[in-house]
A and B are shown apart, each in its own frame.
Chain A
């Protein structure tokens, strides 16, 4: 059973959701500007940029990311942006007021990163005769890929924090101590495992992989 059928929403409704989230993100950018809050402006702007990535990939590179995949990516960055900005009537961002918000956004973003890792591995496998990655190995590789990305994310947060302290500007990403960092990594792994064990993944990404292989083939 497809996730879409289970949720009962078609591609048209999915595109509407994406559009709505993009509008809210644009709103967040202005809220951030109004409050003079660099953290909100940067996070909302980057999130808004990422929501246009699927369309750009499709238009400029012919990589077909369907409405469902686009919704998935948009939702991940949208929940992160809400976390930093907050909702009307809430004091501060959801990261501060909802204890599990950080875990949710990490698992969801990790699932997107896992899909990227999976598509990359599948495309390399399909493109080169010298490479064969059996399903079990691919699963482990995707997990490692996500953990590596999690480490990179921590490094990014750390670097921004150190730079913010050194140059005296407001940090756009914040680290909340070691327990928080470790829980982030654990939920990254959870997201990766959920995606890796989801049987539909290969079918959903087949067209993406095919087009990636085709592009690599043209380039070579």
Chain B
């Protein structure tokens, strides 16, 4: 247990360092872009940096960083622009539409995780993957519509950049194809990532592992799901006080402390990990 815990701590520190480095690069890129008047280009790195800073800000510890590999995926087009400026690696343009939509998918995943951890929204892995795929595809459509509206009514040249309309149309359609293919591909990738990270690091609390059972039923045992609407569905069966507000707070407080010993908040992707913090916080607020 001890050596395992140290392993988590070290990886947590390394992860935090890598994550903060990425946040730093993203912020610099966003500022430089904004200062040079490229406001549209500044938006994405800025949004990603803000999303990355939410967990450490809310949980008040710099170690609560998103998994660096997810952040790096989100920063891929920005980093590629910075380091390669349009050159290709093995014929693959890292600033192209594929890496762009991979980055969008990473951002969608981060949004899913943060919604789950910091709001009353609760997702399991399957729904988080569905949300990521849907959001990546929708982002392509919404982004295109926003650019087109801006071009049509504000006279910008974001989408209608002077090329023949058919060329713009075809390029946009290939964007949509990329968003669809990459969105679904990223869904599969994230699904495997979730399973692998969870299995490798053995993050399930002991009672959840003991309960065994199907994922989704075992996931939440020992933690109270505060639905925020008065139904207060409690999954804790040990305590026998299901559905009652007082019991809910108690159960979550106990299991929260138990979990906090077992694992850090590095892997925000595994929703049950971060839950103790959330429940603990909610209790403190009440």
- What residues of chain A have their CB less than 8 Å away from a CB belonging to chain B? 124, 128-134, 137, 141, 143-145, 147-148, 150-152, 154-155, 158-159, 175, 177-179, 181-182, 185-186, 189, 220
Contact = CB atoms under 8 A, between A and B. Distances in A.
A179 B159 CA distance: 11
A185 B121 contact: no
B141 interface: yes
A151 B145 CA distance: 11
A162 to B, nearest CB: 9
Given A134-B228, A178-B148, A182-B148, A151 B127 contact: no
Interface of B: 115, 119-124, 126-127, 131, 133-135, 137-138, 140-142, 144-145, 148-149, 152, 159-160, 165-166, 168-169, 172-173, 176-177, 179-180, 183, 214, 216-217, 219-220, 225, 227-229, 233, 235, 271
A128 B138 contact: no
Contact of B124 (A131, A148, A155): A131
Contacts of A154: 141, 173, 176
Contact of A177 (B122, B169, B177, B214): B169
19 contacts: A124-B126, A128-B124, A128-B127, A129-B217, A131-B127, A132-B122, A132-B227, A134-B228, A147-B138, A148-B133, A151-B137, A152-B180, A158-B177, A178-B148, A178-B159, A178-B165, A178-B168, A178-B169, A181-B169
Contacts of B127: 124, 128, 131
A129 B220 contact: yes
- Which among A151, A159, A179, A220 has the highest number of chain B CB atoms within 10 Å? A151
B227 A147 contact: no
Contacts of B160: 178
B72 to A, nearest CB: 25
* B interface secondary structure, majority: helix
* A interface secondary structure, majority: helix
Nearest to A120: B130
A38 to B, nearest CB: 22
A179 B166 CA distance: 11
Contacts of A145: 134, 138
A2 B123 CA distance: 33
Contact of A182 (B131, B145, B233): B145
A155 B149 CA distance: 20
Contacts of B176: 151, 154-155, 158
Closest 5 CB pairs of A and B: A147-B138, A148-B137, A132-B122, A130-B124, A158-B173
Contacts of A144: 131, 134-135, 138
B138 to A, nearest CB: 4
A182 B144 CA distance: 7
A131 B180 CA distance: 25
Nearest to A182: B148
A104 B148 CA distance: 21
Given A148-B137, A151-B138, A154-B173, A129 B165 contact: no
A129 B233 contact: yes
Given A131-B123, A155-B176, A175 B169 contact: yes
Contact of B220 (A130, A147, A178, A179): A130
A128 B121 contact: no
Contacts of B137: 147-148, 151-152
Contact of A147 (B141, B148, B219, B235): B141
Contact of A148 (B119, B141, B166, B168): B141
A132 B131 contact: no
A198 B244 CA distance: 32
B165 A150 contact: no
Contacts of B179: 151
A101 to B, nearest CB: 20
Contacts of A143: 138
Contact of A220 (B124, B177, B214): B214
B57 to A, nearest CB: 22
Nearest to B174: A158
A134 B230 CA distance: 12
A70 B67 CA distance: 46
Contacts of B134: 141, 144-145, 148
B251 to A, nearest CB: 14
A148 B137 CA distance: 5
Contacts of B133: 148
A136 to B, nearest CB: 9
Contacts of A137: 115, 119, 121
A192 B149 CA distance: 19
Contacts of B131: 141, 144
A185 B145 contact: yes
A134 B228 CA distance: 9
